[in-house]
Structures are given as C-alpha cells and as structure tokens.
Amino acid sequence: MKRLEQIPVKGEGRGNPLARVFDELTNFCRSRSLFILHYCTGCGAIELPPAMTSRFDMERLGIQPMVTPRQADILLITGYVSIKTLKRVILTYEQMGAPKYVIGICSCTVNGGMYWQSYATAKRLDEYMPVDLYIAGCMPRPEAVIEGMRHLMRRIENGEARGWEDYYRRYDHYLGNQQALFGDDWQTPTDVIAEARHYGLLGEQTLGPHTELLQQVQRPLEALEMRLGHGPEHES
Ligand code: SF4
C-alpha cells in the first residue's frame, strides 16, 4: 500500500506505467458510470424522457438521472437559457464536484437559436461556463442525444473532456462575461479561486481584473439561522 501511495497519479508526463494504467482504468470506469442532472431550460427537454425510457434506454450505457448537483457528473442544458435562469445554471455548475461535464442540447445553447435577437436570452452558453459537447438541432432527436452521450463517454475515457479545468484556469474570463451580463456585483457563494488552488489549476488567467472586482463586492456568507423549537413562534 505504501508503494502505491508513492505513485504519482496527478500531473502531466507521469512515467510510472502502473500509474498510467490506474489513470486509464479510472477514466474507463468514470465514463461508464455517469449521473446526469438535467436543467430543463427549454423545449429540448422533451426529448429526454424517450431517451431514458424503454425505447432508447440510456441507462444501458451506465447513464442515469441524478437529482442533486453534488452527486452529478454531467450538467445537461436542454435549450434556451434566459438571463435569470443562467444565474441558477452557473450556481448549479459550481456546486458540482470535479470532474464535471456540461452538454448543451439544442441550437439555442450554441448561438441563441430562434431567440438570437431576444433581449432576455443568453446567446452562447460557453461564454459563461465551459461546454464539453453541443448537440445541435431544434430539437435533437433521442438518437442524437444518445450519440452525443457516446461521444462524451469516448472523450472521458480518453481523458479529453477537461472543460472543468478550463473554468479554473481561465476563471477571470468566465467571470468577466458573467459580470458583463449580470452586473458588477455578481457573485456566487462558491470560492472558485480556493477550489482552483485545491486542484492545482490556479493559472495565469485565473486571477485578473474581474476577480479583483469580485473581491471588492463579495459579501461573506452568513450562517443560516436555525430554529428548532426556540423561536418566538414556539414561545407560549
Ligand atoms: S433549439 Fe428549438 S427546440 Fe431547442 S430550445 Fe431552442 S427553440 Fe426549443
């Protein structure tokens, strides 16, 4: 066990063949056990029930729905995203543990689709968070959704789906686009910079003018007040 612990499993250029095998095995297992959180933002969501149920049966690929971001691997955005909704989408994405993947379903996530002229809709999802895969169409059929999933599985197995690393490495870029849309005082409760440091992904573009602005406006999280039978409503 002690020898195993000495094997570097993180970082580039590892020379230990056992560590490489271990990484490949991890990637293979990861690609065959994917929990998806579908954020059903638009009409494309209607294609997911047939993709998951008996006719197309996505679960045979090891893919199944998950109800919380904490345990999900894939965030599915299924159509147009209004500016209000995008705030929740970003918050949800940041709550997911790494490695995590984003799939944009429908043309609306690629370029705004038929809402390209709308004042209330975000046009390109990948300006605000890294998108690993787009499945275009208005709306894409379940076959296309499943083929997209297979494609993502291959990329995960080959260690190529690394968009989540880009969010940490270029956080200032993504945060800048978010601030341009939501205002200078935009913030989420997630400490992305600390997470970047934790994963060893703090790069030259993680920090910049936008993270400086964030630090000026950021309010510290306040603990939620817990009332278990001691509040005034319980006093007689
Ligand atoms: S691409 Fe078409 S089906 Fe998909 S969300 Fe946009 S309008 Fe709806």
Model pLDDT for residues 7-48, shown as the tens digit of each residue: 555 555 556 778 888 888 999 999 999 999 988 888 888 888
What's the whole-number average pLDDT of the chain? 87
Domain for residue 187, yes or no?
A: yes
State how many domains the chain has: 2
Domain for residue 148, yes or no?
A: yes
Q: Which pLDDT tens digit goes with each residue over 146-165?
A: 999 999 999 999 989 999 99
Give this prediction's pTM.
0.84
120 in ligand 1 pocket by Cβ < 6 Å?
no
Domain final residue pick, 118, 136, 161: 161
Q: Which pLDDT tens digit goes with each residue over 55-78?
A: 899 889 999 888 899 999 999 999
Do 39 and 127 lie in one domain? The reply is yes
Do 167 and 121 lie in one domain? The reply is no
25 in ligand 1 pocket by Cβ < 6 Å?
no
More confident residue, 11 or 144: 144
CATH code for position 146: 3.40.50.12280
pLDDT of residue 130: 95
Pocket test for ligand 1, best of 116, 139, 141, 145 (most atoms within 8 A of CB): 139
106 in ligand 1 pocket by Cβ < 6 Å?
yes
Do the beta carbons of residue 150 and residue 119 sit within 8 Å? no
Which residue's CA is minimally distant from atom 6 of ligand 1? 108
Q: For the chain, how big is the Rg over CA atoms in Å?
A: 20
Do 142 and 195 lie in one domain? The reply is no
Average pLDDT in the 78-106 region? 93
42 in ligand 1 pocket by Cβ < 6 Å?
yes
- Expressed as residue numbers, the domain containing 42 is 35-161
Average pLDDT in the 181-194 region? 91
Q: To which residue do tokens 């149920």 refer?
A: 53
46 in ligand 1 pocket by Cβ < 6 Å?
no
Domain for residue 207, yes or no?
A: yes
75/38 Cα distance (integer angstroms): 6
Task: Please list, in sequence order, all residues whose beta carbon lies within 8 angstroms of the beta carbon of residue 139, skipping any fewer than 6 positions away.
Answer: 43, 44, 46, 47, 79, 105, 106
